[in-house]
Structure 1
Amino acid sequence: MLKLIGAMMILLSATLFGFYQAQQYSRRPKQIADLIRSMQRLETEIVYGYTPLKEALEKVAKACAQPVNAIFRYSAEALDQSDARSVQSIWHQAVDEHWKHTSLKAGEQDIIRQLGFTLGLSDSTDQVKHLRLAIQQLQGELEGAQEERKRYESMWRSLGLLMGALIVILMY
């Protein structure tokens, strides 16, 4: 009886691990799309609304879904405090602290970190150029993420169950 319970626990945990990995592949394209919409919203706020950066980041954070909005919210809150840090350092710290809560990979992180070098440093037309470049690069990452999702999502679901079954068979 104890062996049966142990086997069921192993099978269940391996299956859940497979489903977790599949979920990561499913979340990534959605979060990249959220980043793209956020960048487009930020561009709109800067160009058409002539909104200061702090307020634009707040508006984007309110309009964006979790966990991506945490980066914008943290940046807006840090800009509101009266310390002498640059926008670049605040943006990079926001990315560093909140990136681990996303399903995004290093490619997207590099794009977002590069954007931090130009936010708040130049006029609105130059910032729009950098935002559009980031959007274009994220579009490429989105296509790759969708292909990965198609290729690996169902594989991980099956693989988790099969690996659990293999472990149970080898142990007994």
Structure 2
Amino acid sequence: MMLFGCIALIAGCGSMGLWLAQRIRRRPEELREFLVALTLLDTEIVWGSTPLPEAFSVLKERTGAPWQSFFSELQKRLERGEPASTAWNEEIVLQSSRFCLKQEDWRVIRDIGKGLGRSDSHEQHKQLQLVSRQLSMLKDQVGIWAEKQAKMWSYLGFLCGVAGVLILI
């Protein structure tokens, strides 16, 4: 019976470590997917002269799970007549818990909302390019950090389980 308890403790702590490692690894993926969405948004605004609700509709169809919901809600809010910057910032607050991004990531993403829908397409293009460069640099830094942290949490989870077993024995 004690053997099963020891195995369960190690497995439980190890799975917690693996879960945390998986969340850490998702952060650079979410940033990468947002960069692709940002490029699509820039293309829709500048070259397609697409209104923002329609541009967000295109983005929701071309992005994955967490971003799809984000852009879908933005589209609905803009169709109801809300200002783009208000809708952008409020959706960040409402949906940030669905993502594995940190506050520093959201700070950069929040900057997009400041000029969204307020200026001409040329100015919005400049702003989207600036944010895109900032996120690209951030993504590179996060990728290196995430790999190290994910390995650490993977090992640490199992090691904590083993330490717990040793303490109980």
TM-score normalised per structure 1: 0.93
Task: Spell out structure 1 runs of 4+ moving beyond 3 A.
Answer: none
Deviation at residue 5 of structure 1 after TM alignment? 2.9
112, 130, 144: which is aligned to 2:127?
A: 130
Deviation at residue 150 of structure 1 after TM alignment? 2.5
Percent identity, please: 28
Equivalences for residues 40-55 of structure 1 within 5 A: 40-55=39-54
Residue type of the alignment partner of 1:95: I
Q: Deviations over 1:67-120 (max 9, x none)?
A: 1222211111111124xx321111111111111111111111001111111100
TM-score normalised per structure 2: 0.95
Length, aligned pairs only: 169
Conserved? CA contact 1:22–1:157, under 8 Å: yes
Conserved? CA contact 1:26–1:149, under 8 Å: yes
| C-alpha distance in 2 between matches for 1:105 and 1:128 | 25
Residue matched to 1:64: 63
Q: Which secondary structure state, in structure 1, belongs to the residue aligned with residue 59 of structure 2?
A: helix
Q: Which secondary structure state, in structure 1, belongs to the residue aligned with residue 115 of structure 2?
A: coil
Unpaired segments ≥5 residues, structure 2: none
Residue matched to 1:149: 146
Residue matched to 2:28: 29
Residue matched to 1:119: 116
Residue type of the alignment partner of 1:110: R
Unpaired segments ≥5 residues, structure 1: none
Q: Which secondary structure state, in structure 1, belongs to the residue aligned with residue 117 of structure 2?
A: coil
Q: Deviations over 1:121-145 (max 9, x none)?
A: 0000011111111111100110111
